[in-house]
Amino acid sequence: MRDGRNELCILLLVIFLSFDSTIGSCTFPTSLTGNWISSQKGTLNFTSTSLYGYPMDLTVALKSVDFDCMEKNDTLYILKSQTPAPLFGHSFDIYLCIDLHPVSSNKFWYQVGQDIEPLTGVRYFAAFENTVVTQATVCTRSTPYEDVTFNTLVKEGAYEAGLIEATCPKSILHTFSNGTLTSSDSVTSCTNVTLDVCTDRTQMRYTYDASCDPSLTIPSDGMSECLYYITNDTSGITYLHVWNNDTTLPAGVSRINCYAYERTGDVISGTLYPGPCDPDQTTSSVPSPGIIIQYDTITKTCQETVESGSQIIYYVAIAIGAVVFILLIILLICVIRHTKCRCCKKCCQKCKKKNNQVGQSDEQLTSSRSTGMTSVEDGVDPYLRAVEHSEKINSITFVAKKPIKLGPIIEPYLEPPAKVELLYEVEPRPTSSRLMFNRSMFFSQLSLRHKE
Ligand SMILES: *[C@@H]1O[C@H](CO)[C@@H](O)[C@H](O)[C@H]1NC(C)=O
Ligand SMILES: *[C@@H]1O[C@H](CO)[C@@H](O)[C@H](O)[C@H]1NC(C)=O
Ligand SMILES: *[C@@H]1O[C@H](CO)[C@@H](O)[C@H](O)[C@H]1NC(C)=O
Ligand SMILES: *[C@@H]1O[C@H](CO)[C@@H](O)[C@H](O)[C@H]1NC(C)=O
Ligand SMILES: *[C@@H]1O[C@H](CO)[C@@H](O)[C@H](O)[C@H]1NC(C)=O
Ligand SMILES: *[C@@H]1O[C@H](CO)[C@@H](O)[C@H](O)[C@H]1NC(C)=O
């Protein structure tokens, strides 16, 4: 009895302790586990509760930090360094606040919710080891965070698998020509650049002029994939992150690049920075090695047909089609009735003839009846009669009129729907029945029965 009670006590204690240990820990979204390419920090390794190797240039010896998820508040994750870090001769706990938003199971965007620490130029918060902290003390940055500082996370291998492309912002769904690229210091430039976002609405395709210096051709293969964008409605500036598909990235160029642009009429003014958007990046100036971009001419608009005017034409086309269809049916009915009448007429004529004959044969019949005999020669075999009849119908040949050519009244152009990204992966789950009656169980039961 006593032993049992002790066991119970120990069990309760263990349960209590395990509850206690879960306080101050949290888990990341399930799909986040794995390696991710970030717009700012290279490749990041997430597990369900930890973030490994987050680059932080804090001291000569400390270049990256491993974090545990400590607390979660809605989309805000507070991370704490796994081990205290030696800074300025003391031991510090390092904290990171990440405002994390899923776009799909292969793409997230986030903001770091801390001010830039002036000495290191890095967004983080450090507190003396074992100091009790709250969200308010750790997440020092005031909200709303500036749009320009957002970051993108793309799952490793997802681009190659074609899982990350997004439809580009509507304002650039055009083909632009007569573009000019200028270096951030305005020294080098080239003209006659074309940008095509119509051929594939998820891609920005450049045609560079032969005169363009390699420092201006970002991306060098002329192809970027749209990932995610945020538009500041007040300023009208769109911050667009794109995937740079260059096989080898030149020094200083990241996989994820940022456009900051605005469109006024046909004119697009913007800048491209070969990394996440720079806080100092505007639509007209950008730090080196960014480039300034200007397009003056739109030569093609790919989404024009969604406007209501052209939709009316489309509906009219449908209405005309319906009317033509009804007319065709009426025509068909007339033709059928007409041929039927002709048949009837022939039938009638035949019937009349037959009736005359039958009248005669009736007389014969009555006469033969009266004589007690049946006429054989006039009673034509009904089968033969039917064959003869059908042959007559077949002999009436219809000469089909040449079909009226209904040419393309209008070529309806339907805009392909914007690419929809699934927030969560759909994985087939084993059904409960399959779990309950799994095969081995069946077999073992069967074998048991056999043994019996
Ligand atoms: C992520 O980091 C953990 C701990 O260092 C390691 O065990 C794991 O293999 C890493 N995952 C990947 C995909 O590199
Ligand atoms: C969660 O965040 C909101 C706003 O960011 C804040 O007002 C609230 O106090 C936080 N909750 C906790 C438990 O920290
Ligand atoms: C939007 O732009 C305005 C004007 O430039 C700026 O004051 C504001 O902070 C921006 N908002 C965000 C969320 O970045
Ligand atoms: C191209 O741009 C230049 C300067 O911006 C302008 O002079 C020229 O007329 C433009 N050409 C076309 C075809 O729009
Ligand atoms: C502009 O580029 C096109 C090819 O993209 C070329 O055919 C054309 O001659 C160029 N025009 C000028 C003025 O250089
Ligand atoms: C991206 O680059 C790879 C390798 O350079 C190439 O095979 C692939 O076709 C490119 N993707 C697109 C959409 O151009």
Lowest mean pLDDT among 19-23, 110-114, 402-406: 19-23
**Strand (E) positions, 197-290?**
203-207, 223-232, 237-244, 256-264, 267-273
Lowest mean pLDDT among 56-60, 225-229, 311-315, 357-361: 357-361
The span from the CA of 50 to the CA of 37, in Å, is 16
- Helix H or strand E segment including 450: helix 439-451
Give the model confidence (pLDDT) of 69-79 as tens digits.
999 999 999 99
For residues 311 and 88, the model is more confident at 88
Does the structure show a pLDDT above 50 at 374?
no
Give the model confidence (pLDDT) of 232-264 as tens digits.
999 999 999 999 999 999 888 999 999 999 999
Mean pLDDT value across residues 20-41: 82
For residues 116 and 376, the model is more confident at 116
Q: How confident is the model at residue 316 (pLDDT cuts 50, 70, 90)?
A: low
Does the structure show a pLDDT above 70 at 189?
yes
Nearest-CA residue for ligand 2 atom 14 is 135
Give the model confidence (pLDDT) of 381-400 as tens digits.
544 444 445 444 444 444 55
Mean pLDDT estimate for the chain? 77
- Look at the block and give the residue holding tokens 């119970």: 8
DSSP string over 420-446: P--SS---PPPPHHHHHT-HHHHHHHH
Does the structure show a pLDDT above 80 at 444?
no
Question: Backbone phi, then psi, for 441, in 5-degree steps?
Answer: -65, -45
Q: How confident is the model at residue 205 (pLDDT cuts 50, 70, 90)?
A: very high
- Helix H or strand E segment including 442: helix 439-451
State how far the alpha carbon of 37 is from the alpha carbons of 19, 86, 153, 431, in Å. Answer: 34, 28, 6, 35
Pairing between β-strand 125-128 and β-strand 151-155 as defined by DSSP bridges: unpaired
Looking at the CA of residue 247, tell me the nearest atom of ligand 6. 5
State how far the alpha carbon of 42 is from the alpha carbons of 16, 114, 152, 356, in Å. Answer: 40, 19, 11, 104
Q: Which residue among 133, 135, 137 is best mutated to probe the pocket of ligand 2, counting the most ligand atoms within 8 A of its Cβ?
A: 135
Q: How confident is the model at residue 416 (pLDDT cuts 50, 70, 90)?
A: low
Q: How far is the CA of 208 from the centre of ligand 5 (A)?
A: 9
For residues 12 and 290, the model is more confident at 290
> Would the CB of 211 count as within 6 Å of ligand 5?
no
pLDDT value, residue 157: 94
Task: Retrieve residue 135's tokens.
Answer: 């969200």
Calculated CA dihedral for residues 59, 152, 94, 51, nearest 10 degrees? -100
Q: How far is the CA of 73 from the centre of ligand 2 (A)?
A: 6
Mean pLDDT value across residues 313-338: 74
pLDDT value, residue 194: 95
Omega of the bond leading into 250 within 30 degrees of 0 (cis): no
Q: Determine how many CB atoms are found less than 10 A away from the CB of residue 69.
A: 22
Percent of the chain with pLDDT over 70: 66
Written as one letter, the residue type at 156 is E
Task: Retrieve residue 171's tokens.
Answer: 């304002």
The span from the CA of 18 to the CA of 299, in Å, is 65
Q: How far is the CA of 111 from the centre of ligand 2 (A)?
A: 16
Residues lining ligand 2, Cβ inside 6 A: 73, 135
Does the structure show a pLDDT above 70 at 86?
yes
Written as one letter, the residue type at 222 is G
For residues 306 and 449, the model is more confident at 306
Quote the longest CA-to-CA distance of the chain. Answer: 142
Q: Which residues contact 71 (CB under 8 A, 6 or more apart)?
A: 24, 26, 77, 78, 135
CA-based nearest residue to 204, from 189, 191, 221? 221
State how far the alpha carbon of 245 is from the alpha carbons of 114, 218, 361, in Å. Answer: 31, 10, 96
Ligand nearest to the CA of 212: 5
For residues 425 and 367, the model is more confident at 425
- 220 SS3 class: coil
pLDDT value, residue 357: 52
Task: Retrieve residue 236's tokens.
Answer: 């009208």
Q: Are 87 and 58 in contact (CB under 8 A)?
A: yes
Looking at the CA of residue 200, tell me the nearest atom of ligand 6. 13
Looking at the CA of residue 194, tell me the nearest atom of ligand 5. 5
Does the structure show a pLDDT above 90 at 368?
no
For residues 312 and 272, the model is more confident at 272
Written as one letter, the residue type at 428 is P
The span from the CA of 28 to the CA of 45, in Å, is 12
DSSP label of 306: G
Question: Backbone phi, then psi, for 173, in 5-degree steps?
Answer: -75, 70
pTM beyond cutoff 0.75? no
- Look at the block and give the residue holding tokens 């399959």: 434
Nearest-CA residue for ligand 2 atom 2 is 73
Does the structure show a pLDDT above 80 at 408?
no
Mean pLDDT value across residues 175-195: 94
> Would the CB of 246 count as within 6 Å of ligand 5?
no
Does the structure show a pLDDT above 90 at 421?
no
pLDDT value, residue 32: 96
Mean pLDDT value across residues 121-134: 93
Does the structure show a pLDDT above 80 at 80?
yes
Q: How confident is the model at residue 322 (pLDDT cuts 50, 70, 90)?
A: confident
- Helix H or strand E segment including 14: helix 2-22
Any alpha helices (H) in 264-401, and if so which ranges? 308-371, 382-395
